Amino acid sequence: MPDPLQLSASRVGFRLQSWLSRRLSRRHGVLWIFLTVFAVVSLATRVGLLVVSAKSVTWDISLLGAFSLGLVFDAATAVLIAAPLAIFLAVLPGRAFASRWVRGGLHLALAGTFALLLFGAVAEFLFWDEFSVRFNFIAVDYLVYTTEVLANIRESYPLPAIFAGIAVGAFAGYALLRRTDWVDRWLAHAPESMGRRWLSAGAWTASAMALAVGLDSNQIPAFANTFNRELGKNGLWSLFAAFRNNELDYREFYAVIPTEDAFAKLRSELSADRSLPLPGTPAHDTLRWVPAPRPGDPELRPNVIQITVESLSAEFLSTFNPASRLTPELQAISPQSLVFTQFYATGTRTDRGMEALTLSLPPTPGRSLIKRPRNADLFTLGSVFRSRGYDTAFIYGGYGYFDNMNAFFGGNGYRVVDRASVADSDITFANAWGACDGDLYRWTLREADAAAAKGQPFHFFVMTTSNHRPFTYPEGKIDLPSKVSGRDGAVKYTDYAIGEFLRAAATKPWYRNTVFVIVADHCAAVAGQAALPVQHYHIPLMIFSPGGQIAPGQVNDLMSQVDYAPTLLGLLNWSYASRFFGWDVLHASGDRRALIGNYQRVGLYEPGVLTVLRPRRGVDHYGYDPSTFALTPRTPDTDQVQETISYYQVASHLYREGLYRSISTEEQAQYGATATVRRTAHAESRFASSHRAAR
């Protein structure tokens, strides 16, 4: 008697074979072959990513949900990719299939399809290795800046072996396919009437359009573990979605409150730095006067060299992680510096760090303002320095067209010094991302000498590149070999280069009148189980003042990169008109907070509490334990949610309306005179009131 299970399986197999046979007996049957192969490769990719992330994923029922949703997005992606082929097959005349050349070309195309799919899978693994996510807007940027990216890949990975493996895999996959009779069966039935083949093409194209409109990766549930959610995505679908969503209109996608309420809420928050509203300021503006924190003392006007270090997580410094031995140079100057222990990056990429450190703006959803249009003549830290007669320059070891850096800094009054502006002989070592940090600091010394020779104070925004894959640097500088030491070697080299730079600077006449700022653009690790893993935004900020203008010490107040500019200017005892969203943490009252985000989720972190805004007007509220990094969902607090919304809604509004504009030297002087009159009148009023009370 036959086994019921075997009989049932046999029936299922017969039905599947019968269904596939009917599909293969039509002109568009090859599309079903493609869909099957695409689904198999996509599933294998997802399983592979699961294996390499086994320690990070949460092994619960959500993985089943992720794989189920992944199958849906895999199928939808295959249908979309195949839509142009469906039209081509409808156009191709039936007699073409009798040609040996056409049939050979079709076999070659199928083999090439295997190679392309395997290439995509390998690319996903490399991208996941660096960012722990499927393709996103970063991959879009990488497609734009192909020179640096391809060179980086070539220097970081054994490409000949990888391409050889792809070729072998493609050949093996196509050999397995040929062992079935699917291709031959399809070719035998490919000739078909015009009406029928156009009907099939229309149905396929309509399905593709419906999926493109109706399916959205944002529909994937917000799993507790972000790794699980990322596994539910399809890389190619996410890549094309990133093209479409590189800029997100805040009012369309995020929770909002009335504009007047948002500005009122934000002005209340910003007044914590003792700033005064200026007469005539429009209701929809953050313009205000920030008074010097020490009114009786003079302004300090030292030179300021800001070294923005690529991917320098706080954990690399022994100040924050006693087990680390990677930054002896920074550790040596730490006791002589003002060290901010609770300083957080606003984002996860260099352009976000630049945005916050220069503009003091929150990370609005979508692309950084560094890469958006209409980003010239904005209110920047450099514009405040220039109002005091400073020379401002952006000095970068790579080619500044990458990430639109040159256009942004040049459009906002900074001189640009990058790899393209120096002679080849001025570069002793370079990789895909730029000249080594040692070369970069030599250029910086030269620029400082030139400014000092003219008797002009200077503010330099120096951006390093060495702490970046492929992690290569000049041999013989440190005790770790280039490249093979990975991130550890790169961190130690960038620390070594800073030490060499400071020792060289110490021989210059301008040294003791210079403040050196060491700050990171973002952390090395950017992914975590949570949508906004707070611990992966913690970065160092140190201000080293060999001339004693700024006293050493330690600041334990929570802050983020938006607070850097106003805090620095407060340390210099400057009064100025401001549009900054940050405040001087040393002289501000109120609850401390950090603004953090990625390209879709933005948040406000206060001690023990994180509020997150996400697309589709979603709001999440968590308790946060800094000792375990655990986030516990809470019922949203109305006041904190409105505070979070006000920061991001107002920032988006000011950019969209072109209101976050620079303040000229003349305007600064006018605002200063107005503020002086108002402060005097306010002081006289208070004296008269106290005198009447005394009488």
- Sign of the four-CA dihedral 40, 46, 47, 48: positive
pTM for this structure?
A: 0.79
CA distance 461 to 438: 16
Q: What are the φ/ψ torsions at residue 206 (nearest 5 degrees)?
A: -65, -40
Give 626's Cβ-side CA count (13 Å radius): 9
pLDDT of residue 23: 60
Does the domain spanning 305-527+537-562 belong to CATH 3.40.309.10? no
- Among 672, 663, 654, residue whose Cα is nearest residue 384: 663
Q: Do domains 257-293+584-662 and 305-527+537-562 have the same CATH topology?
A: no
Domain boundaries, the chain: 18-246, 257-293+584-662, 305-527+537-562, 664-695
Give the number of other Cβ atoms within 10 Å of residue 475's Cβ.
Answer: 10
pLDDT of residue 237: 85
pLDDT of residue 24: 60
* DSSP letter string, 122-159: HHHHHHHHHHSSSS-HHHHHHHHSHHHHHHHHHHHS-H
- pLDDT, tens only, 437-471: 999 999 999 999 999 999 999 999 999 999 988 99
Contacts of 270 (CB under 8 A, 6+ apart): 286, 288, 581, 583
- pLDDT, tens only, 466-483: 998 899 999 999 999 999
Q: What is the DSSP letter of 538?
A: B
CA distance 185 to 21: 8
CA distance 121 to 115: 10
Architecture of domain 257-293+584-662: 2-Layer Sandwich (3.30)
The first and second tokens of residue 649, run together, are: 């809604």
> Residue type at 573?
N
pLDDT of residue 10: 54
- Among 412, 381, 305, residue whose Cα is nearest residue 569: 381
CA distances from 596 to 128, 233, 582 (A): 22, 24, 13
pLDDT of residue 282: 87
- Partners of 624 in beta bridges: 631
pLDDT of residue 189: 62
- Among 244, 290, 372, residue whose Cα is nearest residue 651: 372
Q: What is the DSSP letter of 522?
A: S
Residue carrying the six token digits 């550890």: 488
Q: Which of the residues in the chain have pLDDT under 50?
A: 5, 7, 9, 12-14, 680-695
pLDDT of residue 266: 95
pLDDT of residue 89: 78
Contacts of 95 (CB under 8 A, 6+ apart): 191
Burial 37-53 (b: 16+ CB within 10 A, else e): bbbebbeebbeebbeeb
Element (H, E) at 495: helix 486-505
pLDDT of residue 685: 43
The first and second tokens of residue 190, run together, are: 């490919």
Residue carrying the six token digits 């009159």: 677
